[in-house]
Structures are given as C-alpha cells and as structure tokens.
Amino acid sequence: MIPEVDVGALFGQDAGARVETDRNITEAACEVGFMTIVGFPDEFGAAGPQAHQSLLRLFRIPDPDQRALWKKNFAPDNPNLYRGWFPLESGEARSREGFEIGPDVLRALPEDGSDDLLYEPSVFPSEATLPGWRRAAAAYYDAMERLGHALLASLSRGIGIPEQIFRDAFRDGISTLRLLRYPARDLGPSRDPELERFLLDWEGERAELVCANHVDSGLVTILAQCDAAGLQARARDGRWLDVPPSEAGFVVNFGGLLARWTGGRVRATPHRVLSRGGERFSIPFFFEPRPNTVIAPLPLDGVEPFEPFQFGDHLWATTTKFPENFGLGHLRPARAPYKDPFA
C-alpha cells in the first residue's frame, strides 16, 4: 500500500507534530520509496488543480507556436537543446509529448553557470499566445521548490544528517518542471501490430504501457497526476500497486541517486504508467541541486565509500540516454572525474 502523509506540520510551529511527520516521511522514503502527500498551507493553492489546468493550456496552442518551442533535436533551426518541447516524434511509440522549463521561470540564472548547458535558458510561450501562463508557471515552480526543501529537511532529520547538506546543495539548483501529455489512443484490434508490445492487461481491460518500468535517476520527484489513474509502483514482492490520483495532493518518489547518496537508506522504487486509451496529463517536478554539487558519501554509519562525482555530470550522462536528448552527450563533457555510480 502506498502511504499517505500529511505534511502540514512541516510548515507550522508545532515541534511535536513535526517529529511525527518526519518519522512518517522517513519511513515512507526508506521502506516504500513512494508516498502521497496532503495537508498543504493555503499558499500552495498556486500548485493546486486550477494551476494544473492553467499550465496545461500549453498543449492547446497552435502547431506553429508549439514548433517554435521544440528542442533542437526536432526543429534544427531552434537554438534550445536542453529545455523546451519534445514532440510525439521523440519516441517510437509516439505515446507522449512534453515541455520542460528550469529555474529562470522564477529567478535569474547564476552568472557563474553561463558556460554550462544545464543552465541553458528556458523557452516560453509568449504572453500574447498564453496570457498569464508564465506567471502561473513561476508560482508553481516556487511552490514545488519550497515543498522539496521541506521534504529533504524532514528526511535529513529523520535519517540523522545536518539539514544544511541538502539545503546548501540545492541553492541555485536546476530543478525541472515538466508538463506531459499522453494523447488519446485507439487500443482496439486495428492498432498498429508493431506496437502490440506496449499493450497489456490492467484490471481486466486492455491498456497501453505509456511509460515503461523505470527508477527515476535523480533525487526527488513531486508529481501532480492531474486526476489521471495509471501510475503504478512495484512492491518488494513484485506486485504492481496502483498509486491513486488525488486532486488535493501530490505523489512523491525518491530517485536512484538519492538512494546511492544515502547508502541505500532511501529506497528508489520502480514504477510505470498505464493508460486505457484516454487523453492523460501529468506534471512532474524533478527537484535537482546545482550542477557542481559533489555527491559523496553522507555522514551516516555503514555507508559504503564511493568515488565522489558532480551531480551535473551524472544528470547529463543520464538524460542524454532519453529519446528526446539522443545524440547530445558530447556537447557537455564531464566537469570532473565521473563514472556511472550504478555500474
């Protein structure tokens, strides 16, 4: 079962309630690797259901305006490589498209990061095309950062490390806000037989595997499911557990890098996404530190030593394996000695 945690105490003054919340978050992170969270202060309305609908207007803009935001991999005349829109053509199943923006939706990028592709400026729809969209995106991004900091501070207290370790790492971070659309699909017998391998049974109905079994490569993902069922997490016994959507909360899961950084204290749980064919939207926020953050063994008993490396080198090596970023790996050489920490 996926635990639900009320995180309201992280934003209040009741120290006793916060201790209990820390315990619940740490247990979910270390035992399950997944949780749903509820109980946000009123100011988190900027990231609530109305905000979701406002942001998802993006997918209704005219094709020429969409193409102007495409990544260079799909529109060679566009300058943006890392941030921007990846169209349906980005994957062989043509099952999803998405749009990614970074911290410059909220604040200026640091001057000392100007030579790092991971600090590439985001591209945005114009105000004329989508009135109020950038303002809504900035408010949403801000809420997700504050939530990410609160969760990692809670986890720090729970596993017994100084809160400043994660706090300092995420100063001038490069977190990614991603909007995803899975188009409606005909899953009947007339479907392209070449794509049959993406079809399986879900609760007795035909369903498409629109996002394959994987572990997030980073640290923390905060997901708005936008009231769409289909996300599943794999339990320790191998069963697939449905992660119920909730308009009032978010899903949080912990990535492979955080599991590595904490010496296996935190669990990175495999998950996947199924669809019965209807149009589906989701909004994940990938909470990411500065590129030059050094990932080294944390001050925890029993953590096996590993060779330190920079977060940005790991992120680039990982993200350029995704279809939307194929062929870009050579454009950002590693800034420090790096080898795959999971190899």
Instruction: Supply the DSSP string of 188-203, one letter for each residue.
Output: STTS-GGGGGGEEEET
Percent residues over pLDDT 70 in the chain: 98
Given a cut of 80, whether residue 262 has pLDDT beyond it is: yes
Percent residues over pLDDT 90 in the chain: 74
Specify the higher pLDDT residue, 210 or 266. 266
**Confidence band (pLDDT; 50, 70, 90) for 308?**
very high
Given a cut of 80, whether residue 191 has pLDDT beyond it is: no
Q: Which pLDDT score is estimated for 197?
A: 72
CATH number of the domain located at residue range(s) 4-331 in this protein: 2.60.120.330
Q: Could you tell me whether strands 4-6 and 34-38 are parallel, antiparallel, or unpaired per DSSP bridges?
A: parallel
Tell me the CA end-to-end span of the chain in Å, nearest whole number. 31
Distance CA 139, CA 177 (A): 12
**Confidence band (pLDDT; 50, 70, 90) for 196?**
confident
The string of pLDDT tens digits covering residues 106-119 is 999 998 877 899 99
Specify the higher pLDDT residue, 250 or 15. 250
Q: Which pLDDT score is estimated for 192?
A: 67
**Confidence band (pLDDT; 50, 70, 90) for 336?**
very high
Sequence-ordered strand ranges (E) for 205-249: 205-214, 220-224, 231-234, 240-242
Distance CA 242, CA 311 (A): 31
Given a cut of 90, whether residue 103 has pLDDT beyond it is: yes
Q: Per-residue pLDDT averaged across 280-299, rounded?
A: 95
Question: From the CB of residue 60, how many other CB atoms can be counted at a distance below 10 Å?
Answer: 9
Q: Which pLDDT score is estimated for 128?
A: 97
Q: Which pLDDT score is estimated for 228?
A: 87
Contacts of 330 (CB under 8 A, 6+ apart): none
Given a cut of 70, whether residue 87 has pLDDT beyond it is: yes
Distance CA 83, CA 101 (A): 6
Given a cut of 80, whether residue 13 has pLDDT beyond it is: yes
Given a cut of 80, whether residue 93 has pLDDT beyond it is: no
Given a cut of 70, whether residue 193 has pLDDT beyond it is: no
pTM value is: 0.95
Given a cut of 90, whether residue 195 has pLDDT beyond it is: no
